[in-house]
Chain A
Amino acid sequence: MVVTIPEFAFRWIIPEIIVAVCALAVLLIEVFSGTRNSRRFSAFLALFGACLALYVTLALWNQQEDIFYNLYTIDDFGTFFKVVFLVITALITILSLRYTERGEIPFGEYYALLLFGLLGMMIMVSSNNFITIFVGLEIMSISLYVLCGLLAGNLKSAEASFKYFLLGAFATAFLLYGMAFVYATTGSLDIAEIADYVLSGDFYLTPMFMAGIAFLIAGFGFKTASVPFHMWTPDVYEGAPTPVTAFMATGVKAASFGAFLRVFYTALLPFMEGWSGILWVIAVLTMTVGNITALVQDNVKRMLAYSSIAHAGYILIALVTGDRALSSSVLYYLMAYTFMNIGAFTVVILLGKKGEENTDIEHYAGLAKRYPFLAFCMSIFLLSLAGFPPLAGFMGKFYVFSAAVKAEYYGLAVIGVLNSAVAFYYYLRVMMYMYFRESEMPSEEINLSFAYMLVIVISAWALIHMGIFPRDFLLLARKSVDIFI
């Protein structure tokens, strides 16, 4: 019984192969030469890999193919997410250029792990099977555990890495246990087959299956930083190198939501009544706890960590509805959220200098006088995070809340709107410091290098563009979720 893989299947995973090969090449370059120029080269190689993979991925749009015995699938949903991840990685690579020098982070390993993390995310969202989802998730998580601890001689960074690793391993165990329970009751690891079997009539709902769903929610809830599985988030986001924090807040969150959406909207959709109630509670808790805790934060990086918890709550609102067509709002939201977060974290990086992160809100005082353009861009990011029209953040929230209203979850929509009103306070507080407070500290020179400004300008432009012309992006998101219908 010899089984062979048909060769032509590999042409569908060329983006993944490019990313993996570039990551390995970066590692090897680091081994054979350690001079400064070659270090620059590894960053550019990572950027080149991400861009090349992006180019190839774009060609996969509109393609639909199950490969490797249904273990992996190429569809618009996966392609959409992959494009988002590749853009995120390209931006993070650019903004890491100076940061890695400042923080004395080993270049080669840093970029290699970043690419490996990207590979894990790409695999996660394109998997049709619990095994591949799990392996992808682990590739992503282990890369990030290490990335968090890369700041040399920084205790907070080490703590972040250790905490994330221990709790992450625990959450992985839950996820795996959930997958095992679902497998035990349905006899299949393929998410489409599970749905078929469940609907075939031979299946009856058992406590074990329900426990499996609960464990899956706990596992994915951890990765998406939802309350009550959010305890790790503030410490890890604060301690990790800031570009890695941006990577976690955008890429990891998007990847986890992608896999979450795919599993729950295909395999587990017949039991919507079962899980949608649980997710309702989690969504409300996540929004409320995230926003209320963010109110009292004086550290901007930590405030952004809590705000990222709150945003996970908004995204969960659309997940609760269980309406497959409306789930496109999740995709739009994640895309908009990516740019506002990367932009905001870039400004956080800019204010820091060697050895000092300067993330305290006092450091933002009087920024508008010294660097008006920087303050203006930061305002765009913060207003977008708060959901101020006409920025992309507003459209994202609008689509999510209108999804809840269309699916007749009025209570949830009201709680969501109230929460985003609360959120205005802490975003505007930073703006208030930037524009109306005089700096009490000696003003420090900010190194406005081209790399940082490029990321900031791209993010700001994307937010304005997506906010004013949301139609094209929404149509793309709609097309992506067509696979569920």
Chain B
Amino acid sequence: MDFSWFKWLMFIVAAALSIVGSLMMVTRRNAIHSALWMIATFIAIAVIYVMQNAQFIAIAQIMVYAGAIMMLILFVIMLVNLEKDSVPERKFSSRKFTGAVITIMLFFEILVIATAYQITGREAVYSASMLERTGNVRVMGSLLYGQYLFPFELASILLLIGIVGAVILAKRKKE
């Protein structure tokens, strides 16, 4: 049975949802609403990951970003009392306008670059058929704990620094 139309449909829905979600996220004035739209965007992107045959990243995206990190963001919003419409009225200023123009220019440049590019067809180490046989997570694991063990271990130091840093800055004396 041919699933290609279904895949196509799914992609359109997921892509549209992620774009709408991110637009809504940056335009909402209520911080909680922004956070909820962000979850929607994350899940839509996770769907796209699954369709690219990257199941591990999709699961990690939902568990880590849509789950854990969103939880933290919501906590922070509640702790600092941002639920109310506390974002000030937007005012037009020339600085914002220039910023917007530059951002839009950069966006279109990236769009052109991304669409004008055609993959040169360099052979990958891990082909789709090989992934079918061994499984995505397994390949990922053996890469992380084998070839890329060194940066993986370094990442643990990186996380430690992040934790230590957050604690120091948070417990600083207030005067």
A-to-B contact residues, CB < 8 Å: 1-5, 20, 27, 68-69, 71-72, 106, 109, 112-113, 116, 119, 123, 129, 131-132, 135-136, 138-139, 142-143, 145-146, 149-150, 152-153, 161, 181, 184-187, 197, 202-204, 206-208, 211
Known: A109-B164, A208-B114. A132 touches B169 (CB 8 A): no
B-to-A contact residues, CB < 8 Å: 109-110, 112-114, 116-118, 120, 122, 124, 134, 139, 142, 145-151, 154-155, 157-158, 161-162, 164-165, 168-169, 172-175
* Chain A proximity of B115: nearest CB distance (Å): 10
18 contacts between A and B (CB under 8 A): A1-B146, A5-B146, A68-B149, A68-B150, A69-B148, A71-B147, A123-B154, A131-B151, A135-B151, A142-B158, A142-B162, A146-B164, A149-B172, A150-B168, A153-B175, A181-B113, A206-B117, A207-B112
A207–B118 Cα gap in the complex (Å)? Answer: 10
A71-B150, A132-B151, A142-B165 provided; 20 other pairs, C-beta below 8 A? A5-B146, A5-B149, A27-B164, A68-B149, A69-B147, A112-B164, A116-B157, A131-B151, A139-B154, A143-B165, A149-B169, A150-B168, A153-B172, A153-B175, A184-B117, A204-B120, A207-B112, A208-B113, A208-B117, A211-B109
The answer on a CB contact under 8 Å between A109 and B151 is no
The answer on a CB contact under 8 Å between A142 and B154 is no
Known: A68-B149, A207-B113. A132 touches B154 (CB 8 A): yes
* Chain A proximity of B171: nearest CB distance (Å): 9
Number of A-B contacts (CB under 8 A): 101
The answer on a CB contact under 8 Å between B154 and A143 is no
B contact residues around A1 at 8 Å (CB) = 134, 139, 142, 146
Helix, strand, loop or mixed for chain A's interface? helix
B contact residues around A206 at 8 Å (CB) = 116-118
Helix, strand, loop or mixed for chain B's interface? helix
The answer on a CB contact under 8 Å between B148 and A20 is no
List the A residue with the shortest CB-CB distance to B155: A135
Q: Which of A109, A129, A149, A207 contacts B117 (CB 8 A)?
A: A207
The answer on a CB contact under 8 Å between A72 and B150 is yes
Known: A132-B151, A153-B174, A202-B122. A143 touches B161 (CB 8 A): yes
* Chain A proximity of B105: nearest CB distance (Å): 13
A142–B166 Cα gap in the complex (Å)? Answer: 10
A154–B151 Cα gap in the complex (Å)? Answer: 36
* Chain B proximity of A298: nearest CB distance (Å): 27
The answer on a CB contact under 8 Å between A3 and B117 is no
B contact residues around A146 at 8 Å (CB) = 161, 164-165, 168-169
* Chain B proximity of A113: nearest CB distance (Å): 7
The answer on a CB contact under 8 Å between B113 and A211 is yes
A485–B124 Cα gap in the complex (Å)? Answer: 29
B contact residues around A27 at 8 Å (CB) = 164
A contact residues around B114 at 8 Å (CB) = 208
* Chain A proximity of B68: nearest CB distance (Å): 19
Q: Which of B122, B155, B168 contacts A109 (CB 8 A)?
A: B168
A267–B149 Cα gap in the complex (Å)? Answer: 23
Known: A20-B157, A139-B157. A161 touches B150 (CB 8 A): no
Q: Which of B110, B112, B165 has the most CB of A within 10 A?
A: B165
Q: Which of B110, B150, B173 contacts A132 (CB 8 A)?
A: B150
A contact residues around B173 at 8 Å (CB) = 152-153
* Chain B proximity of A343: nearest CB distance (Å): 29
Q: Which 8 A-B pairs have the closest CB atoms?
A: A3-B146, A146-B165, A153-B175, A187-B122, A68-B150, A208-B117, A207-B113, A135-B154
A contact residues around B149 at 8 Å (CB) = 5, 68
* Chain B proximity of A465: nearest CB distance (Å): 36
A197–B148 Cα gap in the complex (Å)? Answer: 21
A123–B161 Cα gap in the complex (Å)? Answer: 15
A contact residues around B147 at 8 Å (CB) = 3, 69, 71
* Chain A proximity of B135: nearest CB distance (Å): 11
